[in-house]
Structure 1
Amino acid sequence: MEGQRAPQNNGTTSPDDNDRVVSPHLPLVGRPCHDNMYIVQFPKDQVYRVPPSENALIVERYRNPPPNEKKGRRVCCCSPCLLLTIAIILLTIIAVVGITLATLFIVYNPTGPTFTITNFVAKNVTRPPHYEISFRVKNPNKRLGIIYETSAVSMLFDEDQVAKGTFPKLLEQGKDSPTQFKVNVTSTRRTLPKKTGNKPMVFELDMNLGVRVAASGIKTWIMKSNVVCKFKVNNLGSDSRILSQVCDTHFKQY
């Protein structure tokens, strides 16, 4: 503007010259002057830089991980505690059951059932024939019950198998009590064995039984009870009767 003088420069520069805003009325030397153009200068220590967009995404991802990553971290963090808890529970259950079973064996000392044949009938009216055998079975344990789980029964005559069958399954016998059981075995031949002269007929009955002993609702594992009965009968007719018998029981706790 007229009447104003430009400031004189005596060759020295003030320390604050770089921080001052250049007047829009004074064009820079060596650059053309354009209308409505302003030039602003800032000190270098006040220049702020904006980080690249990919850096912002990385920071945001670390601050707010996806739900799947959060869930995975939580499971990994808690899984050792969960496994330890499950292991402690299982060990406790095993210890309680083990102590209970040890008490059953040490205090009660279970034994297998004893058998006595009370009746033997051969029925030839069916094809193939079958045999009906009645037993009196005693549980010698005074404080333990017996549960019959599995069985395999075979009958021999002159050392040859003549019949086979099974023992009644899932029968429970009370403590220190005799029980009547009946077993039907089917003949493996078309006809019954023949009697020779006046000699008695000798049979052998083999029973492989799987039993459990129980007390206060607690059952043991399946134990083996092998029963072998050797007996003699006068004949296989309607007047058949048992002349003699010997039944041995081999009981295995383990």
Structure 2
Amino acid sequence: MGDGDHPNKAPPAASAMNLPPGTYIIRVPNDQIICHPPPPNPNIQKRRTFAAASHPRHARRCCTCLRCFSFLLFLLLSPLIAVGVVYFVCDPNLPKFTVDRLSVDGFAFNSTSPLTVNPEFHVTVRAENPNNIIGFSYSAKRSFVTVSLESNTLCRGSLPSFYHGPRNVTVFKTALSGYEIRLSEPFWKSLMGLQGRKSVPITVDFGVPVRAGLGGMKSWTFEMKARCGLTVDKLGVDSRITSKICRVHLVNFFFFPPS
């Protein structure tokens, strides 16, 4: 080291020797260099602030809607679930209605001309409840029974009110009457021919409001209908039923399978 050299003086950079004339190099100490990041974009910052502020409220709203939807779905499915449980546990079946006996009065078959008749039918009905724990309550109000022959209604009446307990068989009689029934000549001749062949087809229709009961619980009132297709040997007080087919179905109800 020469006498004129300063110990802290840095040697000139090699690249500075090749700079063109008039070029100046300014050196700044490293501890004095301060770097500032560029200012943020105001639009981006505003969107981020809005999203951060609104996200919790949006999440709460979604959770509330989901809970409300789940509650409404539960209310809608609860009756179906209850019906399904009762159906599989109780094994419900429709009651059975049949006509055991039939007595007829008011027809004068010795007449050969069309006439007006006042028929009376006394029908003995057998009702059977095959269920083990389900009972039925029948109401006479708005109930009906009709007897028809070849789509001609001859008389009508009603059913009595009664309770049909589980595994119970109830037999009752009902009286039906017709007033001033005018028979046409073709119908009267057809009826006399059926009477002579001892094969008179009769249709007996039932309709009754009923409520199903299980313990202390009862269903809403629905309508049960039954139809019995009978064949009797004659229309008289001692008529004998030679064949019968009876079917029962419910109106506006889905709890029981068809019978």
Q: So what's the TM-score if we normalise by structure 1?
A: 0.54
Within 5 Å, give how 1:81-96 maps onto structure 2.
Answer: none
Equivalent positions of 1:2-151 (< 5 A) are 103-124=85-106, 128-149=118-139, 150-151=142-143
How much has 1:239 moved relative to structure 2?
2.9
Is residue 157 of structure 2 the alignment partner of residue 175 of structure 1? no
Q: Offset at 1:221?
A: 0.8
How far 1:132 moved relative to its partner? 0.6
State the number of aligned residues: 159
8 A contact 2:131–2:167 mirrored in 1? yes
Q: What is the Cα-based RMSD across aligned positions, in Å?
A: 3.0
Indicate conservation of the 8 Å contact 1:128/1:191, yes or no: no
Higher RCO by CA contacts (8 Å cutoff, separation 6 or greater)? 2
Question: Following the alignment from structure 1 to structure 2, what is the Cα–Cα distance between the partners of residues 212 and 102?
Answer: 18
SS in structure 2 at match of 1:237: coil
Q: Is the 8 A contact 1:161 1:188 kept in 2?
A: no
- Matched residues in 1 for 2:84 and 2:159: separation? 29
Q: For residue 206 of structure 2, what is the aligned residue in structure 1?
A: 207
Computing the radius of gyration from Cα coordinates, the structure with the larger value is: 1
Aligned residue for 2:218?
219
From the superposition, tell whether residues 224 and 238 of structure 1 become closer, same or farther in structure 2 (CA, over 3 Å).
Answer: closer
Unmatched runs of 5 consecutive residues or more in structure 1: 1-93
The alignment's TM-score, normalised by the length of structure 2, stands at 0.53
The one-letter amino acid paired with 2:201 is V
Secondary structure at 1:141's aligned position in 2? coil
- Structure 1 residues 242 and 223: alpha-carbon distance in aligned structure 2, compared to 1, 3 A threshold: same
User: Aligned residues: percent identity?
Assistant: 26
Mapped to 2, the partners of 1:206 and 1:225 lie a distance apart of 11
